[in-house]
Structure 1
């Protein structure tokens, strides 16, 4: 039984597809199939059900999977221990980020790469909910996430930005003569907001639930610029970061009161579990590079 076979088996089980697993492993698909067949012959049982469109675990495969993962984790632990003792910084670092942010993540990664060119860096983009899940299960080492209404369990956060969440309307909207608006005033208005799983949306949903109503979301988009454009065309009230709402000449910003809403971004990583030396160096560098907002 080889570690490579266990790695291929765990990856196929996670992806539910041989082709996607091969792409993730950067190997040819026939090689993945052949290695798993050898593993199955060695254990004397089928581990994967290949009869459907997607690959599923057999009962034996489901029983074997946790042990395969534990074996791979143990090997990673050995490598981490050696690297810790020898002071090596190598391997891989997987980083995530929310779709729209104003954090100099490219600068952080470029500086890190200049000092540690032997470390492979990967970067993905997703909403905060997916990034939090990926951090918790170890698929990501660190990520720029949006601060939600409740702090995510199992993560450590280094806050890097904090600002008000502001409403914005077109210049000819009936609210354009005001400087502020209560949350209750927006109860019957069509709102334009980021989708569920984002920080600003979680703050809005939580505040509306506390006030006893559900917001009327007319339009959703993952890009705040698109939200601003929709509001400027008179399609509703956009819920935006304050800096975005006040940066556009075609929008009238409105401070949200009773309650005021505040969001922000944080650099996040797992609170527990093994952390590679490379990831630890990146996390320490990020905490120095991104000072906490005053």
Structure 2
């Protein structure tokens, strides 16, 4: 008895005939018939009644059908188990990250994953959040650290990493520097330095402004948050950043809470639910690196 014989038998039973079964398993009709006859000889009983125009199962065939399906399912499980092991031995992992990412937890997770699975080839790509999401959806990236605006991207799983408010960052001599906080209306009177469209922080800003009928004056854009901060340090505009990024420039910039900016920014790792073993193993290392518990809720916003 061979697995292929069981496969052909199940195909004939489910397709209701030898012709359609042969098309399903991609061999000739005579080949299917010959293999099933050999299976019947091995079992010592006919499985298919060929006396009528329509193929039907004999009593022995009906009794054998579910067991044949179970045997094929077990064989498939064996293949998948071996594939999963191989995927962590000599597979590939493509990780995306937002441009200018300085989140060391991601790098810690990459190092831990590489140390545990040195045979997996790791590729790191930078892009803005919108394009990274499309890469993950298309399978061009296995997972990505992104900023999202709103709920997690449709069809993807998400691990929230950081949730924090937006701030306006200005040099100490700026007219706003002595204010405890600012509003979007007040920011509209100053040139802004921002991340480009397609990033989470920019999306949160744009949505908040649209909700309040504010038209911000975007003077300069840069893809790296550090560049946005550096431009603000030089007096070229008010930087709109996440709280933690602005905190890194505490000696050069004053961070002002934006009172009506709405939902906070969230940084999140996203991946496809049906991703292979390597991405899921990386997520485990990311949880450890970022100290995120298993029951962390869904993403609200992301940078």
TM-score (norm 2): 0.65
Kindly state the Cα deviation for residue 226 of structure 1 after the two structures are TM-superposed: 1.7
Q: Deviations over 1:129-164 (max 9, x none)?
A: 111000111111111111324431111111111222
1:41-80 aligned within 5 A: none
| SS in structure 1 at match of 2:165 | strand
Partner of 1:251: 253
Larger displacement relative to structure 2 (217-226 or 284-293): 284-293
Query: Following the alignment from structure 1 to structure 2, what is the Cα–Cα distance between the partners of residues 108 and 83?
Result: 26
Partner of 1:98: 98
Count of matched residue positions in the alignment of Structure 1 and Structure 2: 215
| SS in structure 2 at match of 1:181 | coil
Query: Following the alignment from structure 1 to structure 2, what is the Cα–Cα distance between the partners of residues 86 and 260?
Result: 46
| SS in structure 2 at match of 1:244 | helix
- Structure 1: which 5+ runs fail to align? 1-77
Q: Residue 84 of structure 2 contacts residue 276 of structure 2 at CA under 8 Å; is this kept in 1?
A: no
Query: Following the alignment from structure 1 to structure 2, what is the Cα–Cα distance between the partners of residues 286 and 80?
Result: 28
1:2-81 aligned within 5 A: none
Query: Following the alignment from structure 1 to structure 2, what is the Cα–Cα distance between the partners of residues 147 and 250?
Result: 28
Partner of 1:144: 145
| SS in structure 1 at match of 2:145 | strand
Partner of 2:164: 163
Does residue 278 of structure 1 match 2:278?
yes
Query: Following the alignment from structure 2 to structure 1, what is the Cα–Cα distance between the partners of residues 248 and 110?
Result: 28
Partner of 2:225: 224
Q: Residue 96 of structure 1 contacts residue 124 of structure 1 at CA under 8 Å; is this kept in 2?
A: yes
* Larger of the two Rg values belongs to structure: 2
TM-score (norm 1): 0.67
| SS in structure 1 at match of 2:139 | coil
Partner of 2:292: 292
1:192-271 aligned within 5 A: 192-248=193-249, 249-271=251-273
Query: Following the alignment from structure 1 to structure 2, what is the Cα–Cα distance between the partners of residues 286 and 225?
Result: 23
Q: Residue 166 of structure 2 contacts residue 261 of structure 2 at CA under 8 Å; is this kept in 1?
A: no
Kindly state the Cα deviation for residue 120 of structure 1 after the two structures are TM-superposed: 1.4
Q: Which runs of 4+ in 1 moved over 6 A?
A: 78-81
Query: Following the alignment from structure 2 to structure 1, what is the Cα–Cα distance between the partners of residues 213 and 278?
Result: 47
